[in-house]
């Protein structure tokens, strides 16, 4: 996987309450594959993660959402946690940022509750996806075909259910970003 993503730039859109492993593990895999990864957030400075029902480590924000554009990146990652995507889907700039990746046909990865933001961006019609089980009805109501699988790839959109799926999710995300633009 090393050097597969040399020259690629990936945005991780997150805010306070992101699931720690769902941000850190993919970030590490993307960087190991050679990508430049930026944590993009509506917050400035640092954001706090969530782990085992409590606040956890802080992660530095590389770029404020107000200064970020999908055009600056080759792909997008949406980590889960409950608080993080629930907050982001209520932020018009975050929703527009996500939608712009789909408009530009760039790879997007979303894990656990991360697809909640995709619902708000209205980009799931006709897409096959997976997620944390408790949001499957939301995804179906947004027009997606929800399945209970470790990782699902649908034309550049990579989705997974929980942190236990991270190894498969990370592999597929790197593969999709390496392939580039999608239809």
pLDDT tens, the chain, 183 aa long = 578 999 999 999 999 999 999 999 999 999 999 999 999 999 999 999 999 999 999 999 999 999 999 999 999 999 999 999 999 999 999 999 999 999 999 999 999 999 999 999 999 999 999 999 999 999 999 999 999 999 999 999 999 999 999 999 999 999 999 998 654
Query: CA of 168: how far to CAs of 1, 30, 139, 158, 162, in Å?
Result: 13, 13, 21, 10, 11
Our count of domains for the chain comes to 1
CA 148 to mean position of chain CA atoms: 18
Residue 1 lies in a domain: no
- Residue 151 known to be catalytic: no
| Residue 13 contacts residue 94 (beta carbons within 8 Å) | yes
Residue 96 sits in a domain whose CATH number is: 3.40.50.880
Full domain range(s) for residue 156: 9-179
Classified as helix, coil or strand, 27 is helix
Q: Please, which residues bridge with residue 145 across strands?
A: 128
**How does pLDDT run across 16-68, given as a tens digit for each residue?**
999 999 999 999 999 999 999 999 999 999 999 999 999 999 999 999 999 99
Q: Which residue has the tokens 């990746």?
A: 101
The whole-angstrom separation of Cα 136 and Cα 65 is: 28
The catalytically annotated residue of 59, 112, 121, 174 is 112
Res 183: pLDDT: 46
Helix (H, G, I), strand (E, B) or coil at 41: strand
* The two three-digit tokens of residue 127, written as one number: 């897409």
- Residue 13, in any domain of the structure: yes
The contacts of residue 92 (CB under 8 Å, 6+ apart) are none
- 169 given a catalytic annotation: no
**Catalytic residue among 106, 113, 136, 172, which?**
113
Radius of gyration, CA atoms only, the chain: 14
2 lies in a domain?
no
Query: Would you state the pLDDT for residue 26?
Result: 98
């Amino acid at each position: 996987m090393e050097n597969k993503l040399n020259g690629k730039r990936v945005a991780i859109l997150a805010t306070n309450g992101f699931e720690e492993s769902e941000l850190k593990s993919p970030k590490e895999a993307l960087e190991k594959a050679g990508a430049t990864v930026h944590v993009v957030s509506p917050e400035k400075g640092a954001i706090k993660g969530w782990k085992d029902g409590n606040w956890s480590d802080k992660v530095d924000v590389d770029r404020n959402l107000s200064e970020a554009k999908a055009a600056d990146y080759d792909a997008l990652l949406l980590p889960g946690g409950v608080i993080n995507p629930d907050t982001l889907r209520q932020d018009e700039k975050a929703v527009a940022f996500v939608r712009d990746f789909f408009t530009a046909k760039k790879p997007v990865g979303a894990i656990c509750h991360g697809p909640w933001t995709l619902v708000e961006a209205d980009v799931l019609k006709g897409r096959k996806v997976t997620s944390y089980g408790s949001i499957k009805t939301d995804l179906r109501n947004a027009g997606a075909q929800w399945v209970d699988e470790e990782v699902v790839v649908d034309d550049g959109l990579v989705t997974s259910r929980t942190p236990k799926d991270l190894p498969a999710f990370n592999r597929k995300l790197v593969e999709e970003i390496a392939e580039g633009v999608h239809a």
